């Protein structure tokens, strides 16, 4: 910090504080003398809150097709792939739903890589929660026993918006 910057800092009483309480003690009367500054801050915060939060892009395909469900159930042996009652076991119930492992509403893709066969109960219990890394590992591990050899076993895939064809052409 050069001398002139230090001088400016020292001369601005609000910045020459030793504790947050002291800062607060100095800021309050300063804001009472300069109400426009308070209005400016409130206005700026209001404007910032209007900026829409960036949401994960959603797959335009909401539901798995009949073919995807059939393929997903077959590769799971028509059985739910989620956890059973006993730790480290697999649910015994028959597959009834194609579960978006990364929830569709959270940017999960409607692809086979994001497909996990689920019974009605497990599907309802998982709802639209993001899967834990532990659950991901357990499913990937138990899939070694029943999954086709050439298919990646780790479940979960996010939807990636395809590049615009106009942009990729040169």
Question: CA–CA separation, 36 vs 47, rounded Å?
Answer: 16
From 102, 98, 62, 64, select the one nearest 78 (Cα to Cα).
Answer: 98
Is 80 a residue that touches Zn ion (CB under 5 A)? yes
Locate 66 and state its tokens: 């009949």
Minimum CB distance to Zn ion, residue 109 (Å): 22
From 58, 61, 71, select the one nearest 115 (Cα to Cα).
Answer: 71
Is 122 a residue that touches Zn ion (CB under 5 A)? yes
Pick between residue 31 and residue 103 the one whose CB is nearest to Zn ion. 103
Single out the residue of 119, 156, 157, 159 in contact with Zn ion (rule: CB under 5 A): 119
Is 135 a residue that touches Zn ion (CB under 5 A)? no
Question: CA–CA separation, 134 vs 88, rounded Å?
Answer: 11
From 158, 161, 152, 56, select the one nearest 102 (Cα to Cα).
Answer: 158
Is 82 a residue that touches Zn ion (CB under 5 A)? yes
Is 139 a residue that touches Zn ion (CB under 5 A)? no
Size of the site for Zn ion (CB under 5 A): 6
Binding residues for Zn ion, rule: CB under 5 A, are 80, 82, 91, 93, 119, 122
């Amino acid at each position: 910090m050069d001398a002139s910057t230090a001088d400016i800092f020292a001369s601005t009483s609000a910045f020459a504080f030793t504790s947050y309480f002291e800062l607060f003690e100095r800021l309050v009367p300063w804001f009472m003398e300069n109400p426009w500054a308070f209005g400016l801050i409130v206005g700026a915060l209001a404007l910032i809150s209007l900026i829409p939060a960036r949401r994960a892009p959603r797959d335009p395909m909401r539901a798995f097709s009949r073919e995807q469900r059939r393929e997903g159930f077959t590769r799971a042996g028509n059985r739910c792939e989620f956890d059973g009652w006993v730790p480290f076991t697999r649910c015994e119930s028959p597959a009834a739903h194609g579960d978006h492992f990364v929830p569709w509403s959270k940017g999960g893709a409607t692809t086979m890589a994001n497909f996990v066969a689920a019974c009605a109960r497990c599907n309802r219990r998982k709802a639209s929660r993001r899967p834990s890394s532990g659950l991901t590992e357990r499913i990937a591990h138990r899939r070694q026993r029943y999954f086709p050899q050439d298919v990646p076993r780790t479940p979960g895939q996010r939807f990636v918006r395809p590049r615009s064809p106009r942009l990729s052409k040169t």
